[in-house]
Amino acid sequence: MGHGIAQVAAQVAKSQVYLTDVKQEYLDRGLRMIDDSLGRFVRKGELTEDDMVEIKKRIHSTLSLKEALREADIVIEAAPEEVQLKCQLFSEVDRIAPQRTIIVSNTSSISITQLAAATKRPEKFCGMHFFNPPQLMKLVEIVRGVKTSDETIQTVKEFAERMGKDTVIVNRDTPGFIVNRILLPALNEAIFLVEEGVAEPADVDKAIRLGLNWPMGPLTLLDYIGLDTTLSIAKVLLEETGDPKYRASSLLKQMVRAGLLGRKTGKGFYDWMEKK
């Protein structure tokens, strides 16, 4: 989701954005996806070609974390949902970034307090959970850790609003925050319907879109989120709460093992290569 968040910060908030990753190929892919997304806005008449050029000028890509953080006011992390990986990254960011810099995580399930403990500035650390795709989805969950200051929450809220987002404040650092606490059991149940042969994916999605007025069906949404990300979230929720309603279905586990992760791999519950 990093490229989408970077795009919104540059496009809507008009911020200077530094996009960084561990390999040039990942940066190049992110920039291509930004080009593709901006191109869609141009074709829809929501942006001009000149707008697109100006937005792209505000996005700077670099493999150097030091360069990316040199003048950063806010750092938004969008690494995979792995606690150790994120903590290592935050420890390095904390060492390099200016003391004034606020650090936020786009995690969808991991404890903000736990992640903040990897830094020496937990009062300047909070969750800023975007929804996929960030270019279109309006909501941002702002999550308070045990030591997060009111000033940090207010600053991040104001920045989210500059990005054109509506915000909710999660006052207690609970696994899955608000949306995923409710969403994960629903997504898991949709997978069970397919696993048990109750209905085909397209009919499950159609039923929920028309019956519950969801903008997209749960299995399409899973392909957008990524089945590996969904499994990681389910594992965190099950471990942290002990509630069996978060136990991932066997089909979800099998699809992740098979590399059928959704749009990012070209195939999940649907064949996205054909759609492209």
Compute the half-sphere exposure of residue 161: CA atoms within 13 Å on the CB side of its CA.
Answer: 9
**Which residue among 106, 129, 188, 249 is the active-site one?**
129
Compute the half-sphere exposure of residue 227: CA atoms within 13 Å on the CB side of its CA.
Answer: 28
For residues 38 and 7, is the Cβ–Cβ distance under 8 A?
yes
**Which residue among 141, 188, 232, 249 is the active-site one?**
141
In the annotation, is 213 catalytic? Answer: no
In the annotation, is 141 catalytic? Answer: yes
Residue (of 199, 255, 204) closest to 227 by Cα position: 255
Unique residue bearing structure tokens 């403990």:
117
In the annotation, is 180 catalytic? Answer: yes
Pairing of strands 139-144, 125-130: antiparallel
Residue (of 44, 60, 75) closest to 10 by Cα position: 60
Distance CA 36, CA 53 (A): 13
Distance CA 146, CA 126 (A): 9
In the annotation, is 188 catalytic? Answer: no
**Which residue among 15, 105, 106, 108 is the active-site one?**
108
**Which residue among 61, 180, 188, 249 is the active-site one?**
180
Active site residues: 108, 129, 141, 180
